[in-house]
A and B are shown apart, each in its own frame.
Chain A
Amino acid sequence: MDFRETDEIGLLREAVAGIAGKYGHSYYVQQSRAKEPTTALWDELSAGGFMGVNLPEAFGGGGGGMTELAVVCEEVAAVGCPMLLMLVSPAICGSIIAKFGTTEQQQRWLPGLSAGRKMVFAITEPDAGSNSHSISTTATRHGGGYRINGQKYYISGVDEADAVLVVTRTGIDERTGRGQMSLFVVDTDAPGLTKETIDMQILEPEKQFTVYFDNVEVGPDRLLGVEGEGLRPLFAGLNPERILTAAIVNGIARYALDKAADYARERNVWGVPIGAHQGLAHPLAKAKVDVELARLMTARACWEYDNDLDAAESSNMAKLAATDASLAALDQAIQIHGGNGMTTDYGLATLWGMTRLLRIAPVSREMILNFVSQHSLGLPRSY
């Protein structure tokens, strides 16, 4: 077992940290305040080929895996610029199309994704969040293709994307009563597709949308995989989604720990640096331990995924461990900064909403614990 990172990963970290470092957290705050996407940073990373590191070389990607994508995502977050759409566009949509798209579909979408064009992902509905089986957006056969009707919400970045990968129901399984799912790629400017922004209490450069599908027509070439068997391609996107969530919050955690340690070494209230008070030092040290453990599990999940092993358990565990560790690290970093912790300038409270969000989305803490209870511990299914 060799835990050292390769030279390539080292260079990758340096390059991405270098590029993202030119922008930094103040850029993230400025764009978020202006409700503008972090386009300049995204484009510069795309130009270096970093947004498509995990996609096949044959379609303009980097030919790497989740390991490389997670490193990119972590390094960008570690300068205080977490990028939610990385987990959606190259990770979920890119992985699904790379694994389940026909050659034509791959030709059509992967070169764009590799170059940093965005595709977003829509599964959540007002009556189907954690329980995806109960989605009610339908796709019905019409002419040679399909007609999509329904409503999705909390869909990130629809305004920035060329297309949206939509999870629909094309039938009901008679035996289980569950929906038979089908996945479609729909252009964001398709007639019948409308969107409304949702006002969020998160300082983020992306916007969230409710998306309405009103008789949106798509051709049969928009169906990913087999009609009614959408669960298989859907699952291909789930582990990448969890791994990338972990990568984002691992980056935020590193950012917070660095700031906290710097501050605790310098700030002097009673004649010694406040880092000398164990009441402050120990929670930070504990956070550091938990963050490193989470990063280790994230690396393992990447490795399993990239080696075509079953990465479900490790991806879920990494996601949960990383979000909890990151929140604890950020919380302690804010505490160490006293009143300064709550200012915009010190750049910590500004990340609270994003970090807190990732305990809920894209899959909640409870749903992961359900998974671990059932699959890792063999406990009865609880829902």
Chain B
Amino acid sequence: MNVIVCVKQIPDPALPGALDPATNTLKRDGKLILDESDSYGVEMALQLVDAAGGGEVSLVSMAPNGEVSGMRTALAMGAARGVLVSDPALQGSDALTTAKVLAAAVRRLGGADLVIAATESSDGYTGTVPEQMAELLGLPSVTFAKKVAVEGTSVKVQRQTEEGYDEVTCTLPALLSVTAGVVEPRYPSFKGIMAAKSKPIDEVKAADLGISPVGWAGAGQQIASVTQAEARAAGEIIEDDGEGFTKIVAYLENLKVI
């Protein structure tokens, strides 16, 4: 069984982010790391391949400046190879273009039994790329997967809903977007870390995938302007003199939540 995982490489969320005032897009010139959201997909893929008793986990990623740090983390966890699409022409790409690029990267790897992405990325979080990829690849897609088991030629998914979960069965090949926390991502072992260095990453340009137009030219949307989010008003601090709870109850009643 072969699985391809989409891994987005993003600026470290622990560091303060910044917008490029010229383009109104996120600055991504520093080191990028594996989006934590995608570490669940990688772990899930490794577990599924393990359970199937054979096969490989491959990665696809689109990122600026030939960045591979985040991919190396996934390779150290146990993925076998990857395709990186990195191209200055991709600057300004919107989510649909990203989906086109990643779908083409999946095809370049020869497809797989299963393609896994996260429900949404931690930096862009439009939550639209996986479904667009599925459409482009002609694959059935199951979203919000919280539990996944492959049985023969189909995959059984518990799909998170507001009330509980749906049980969805779907034929392979398919594309799943998984929720955070589905599995506990492993830490790479020392052997995994040392092996990651020599695992192949195929770096390609948009043109190698036959996709154009891309970047600003390909975007169906434009970022007209960016405004500061409204600052939240300072909270009210209630000193507890033993009767603090009455003030809290009054406050909640006033909000009509109790």
Contact = CB atoms under 8 A, between A and B. Distances in A.
Interface of A: 7-8, 10-12, 14-15, 18-19, 47-50, 53, 62-64, 68
Contacts of B197: 7-8
A18 B190 CA distance: 13
A50 B69 CA distance: 21
Interface of B: 69, 72-73, 76, 187-191, 193-194, 196-197
Given A12-B193, A50-B190, 12 more contacts: A7-B72, A7-B197, A11-B72, A11-B73, A11-B188, A11-B196, A14-B73, A14-B187, A48-B189, A49-B191, A64-B194, A68-B190
Q: Is the interface of B mostly helix, strand, loop or mixed?
A: helix
Contacts of A53: 190
A58 to B, nearest CB: 14
B190 A62 contact: yes
A19 B187 contact: yes
14 contacts: A7-B69, A7-B72, A11-B72, A11-B76, A14-B73, A15-B76, A15-B187, A15-B188, A15-B189, A49-B190, A53-B190, A62-B191, A62-B194, A64-B190
A10 B34 CA distance: 13
A12 B73 CA distance: 10
Nearest to B34: A14
A19 B196 CA distance: 19
Contacts of A63: 194
Nearest to A9: B193
A50 B76 CA distance: 14
B53 to A, nearest CB: 22
Contact of A48 (B69, B72, B73, B187): B187
Contact of B187 (A8, A18, A64): A18
A19 B197 CA distance: 21
A50 B194 CA distance: 12
Contacts of A11: 72-73, 76, 188, 193, 196
Given A7-B69, A7-B197, A12 B190 contact: yes
Contacts of A15: 76, 187-190, 193
Contacts of B191: 49, 62
Nearest to B189: A48
A11 B72 CA distance: 8
Contacts of B187: 14-15, 18-19, 48
B46 to A, nearest CB: 15
Contacts of B189: 15, 47-50
Contacts of A12: 190, 193
B42 to A, nearest CB: 14
Nearest to A52: B190
Nearest to B197: A8
A18 B186 CA distance: 10
